[in-house]
Amino acid sequence: MSERAKDFVVTRRIAVAGLSAAVMAPWVSKAQTLKTEYKLSVVGNRPIALSEGAFQWAEMVTQRTNGRINVKVYPGSQLVGGDQTRELVAMRQGIIDFTVSSTINISPQVREMNLFSLPFLMPNHRAFDAIVGGEVGQMLFKVMESRDVVPLAWGENGFRELSNSKRPIQKPEDLKGLKIRFAAGAIFADIYNGLGANPVQMSFADLQPALSTGAVDGQENPVNLFLGLKMDALAQKHMTIWNYCVDAGLFHVAKPVWDTFSAADKEIVRESARDAAKVQIGATRKGLGVLDPNDKSSLEELAKRGVATVTLSAEEKRAFARATRPVFDKWAAQVGADLVKKAEAAANAAS
């Protein structure tokens, strides 16, 4: 072969190699967009059901992607200094990648999420399931999508029950003068002010020391969270089961992060969220007679720990509902009349 022919062959090989590299470059670039670690924020820690769902999600995604999407949980809202109401903002700032959020903690930024805090809107879990599993749940997903996050699954932190260190609560007047901690959302200040209590907004991180020192008299949280945190050891000796509102859980990803995933990885992350949500819901409802009418082990555990529990009758709940109706109407207007109307219809049909 002549020197000229050799030069031609070499030049052609270089050109082909360059073309191959150009064709492959987008795939290499796409692979390089994956982070070495994805940060998942959640309020609280294990064994709280909301936090358990976060850990399950992180583990499922990491395992199912063979570590390509390596998700690490940062419990206690530590990425936002313990202020769980800032998680959504931190996602939009790129500080947090994944979140399992309480809708109560989102509601200060997303007014529609106050739907779940409207007093006595949802009487039971069937009503809750109908709302999140139907048109209303999809409408709320679209609201979240407009906030630059991608919602993937509904979970549940549970119906919020009332505990205190002073006395049984069976009628609205019983709350008069009690200092009751709430997590976030002006709607809760309105509810407890309307019932004659003294509401105190406080982060989850500050709740336990506040209860132990008597800085607050009571709090409202799901039964299994109460048990998991051993609030009975923090002078909380009275519990009222009234199901006055429910706290939904939301599994979501920051949109800029989501957009870096391949279609296959998106499906893995989505299915993992749904599977983890099922685990979370099961843990939230365990022992309440919901999953199994014969299993009331969580309620029985309250009695074993010396917590005097009052379960309100339908008529007793109506008395609280009447007392808080002005708050319901005020906040329904802010949530959105159409959204509330659809939620009421779904709840009534399911109950």
Q: What is the model's pLDDT at position 351?
A: 82
> Could you count the other beta carbons within 10 Å of the beta carbon of residue 62?
17
The rounded distance, in Å, linking the Cα atoms of 298 and 222 is 11
For the domain 161-245+290-350, what is the CATH code? 3.40.190.170
The structure tokens listed for 254 are 């920051």
Would you say 302 and 241 are in contact if contact means Cβ atoms under 8 Å apart?
A: no
Distance separating alpha carbons of residues 344 and 269, to the nearest angstrom: 32
The domain made up of 28-157+248-285 has a fold known as D-Maltodextrin-Binding Protein; domain 2 (3.40.190)
288-343 pLDDT tens trace:
999 999 999 999 999 999 999 999 999 999 999 999 999 999 999 999 999 999 99
Q: What is the pLDDT along the chain (351 residues), one digit of tens a residue?
A: 544 444 444 444 434 444 333 333 333 334 448 999 999 999 989 989 999 999 999 999 999 999 999 999 999 999 999 898 999 999 999 999 999 999 999 999 999 999 999 999 999 999 999 999 999 999 999 999 999 999 999 999 999 999 999 999 999 999 999 999 998 889 999 999 999 999 999 988 899 999 999 999 999 999 999 999 999 999 999 999 999 999 999 999 999 999 999 999 999 999 999 999 999 999 999 999 999 999 999 999 999 999 999 999 999 999 999 999 999 999 999 999 999 999 999 999 998
What does the alpha-carbon distance between residue 144 and residue 151 come to, in Å, rounded to a whole number?
7
The predicted pLDDT at position 88 comes to: 93
What is the residue-wise DSSP string for 126-187?
HHHHHHHTSHHHHHHHHHHHTTTEEEEEEEEEEE-EEEESS----SGGGGTT-EEEE-S-HH
pLDDT recorded at residue 326: 98
Give pLDDT, residue 40. 98
> What pLDDT shows up at residue 193?
97
Beta bridge partners of 158: 247
| Each residue's pLDDT tens digit, 150-173 | 999 999 999 999 999 999 999 999
Residue 102, number of CB atoms within 10 A of its CB: 27
Q: What percent of the chain has pLDDT over 90?
A: 86
Number of other CB atoms surrounding residue 290 within 10 Å? 19
Cα–Cα distance, 101 to 249 (Å, whole number): 6
Q: Which helix (H) or strand (E) covers residue 241, if one does?
A: strand 238-241
Report residue 94 as tokens. 């790129």
**262 has which bridge partners?**
none
Return the structure tokens found at 246: 């429910």
Q: Where are the beta strands (DSSP E) in 242-350?
A: 246-254, 308-311
Structure tokens at 171: 């009628």
Query: What pLDDT score does 18 carry?
Result: 41
* CA–CA gap between residue 149 and residue 16 (Å, rounded): 42
289: alpha, beta or left, given left = phi > 0 and alpha = psi -120 to 50?
Answer: left
Residue 337, CA distances (Å) to 106, 157, 342, 343 in order: 20, 25, 9, 10
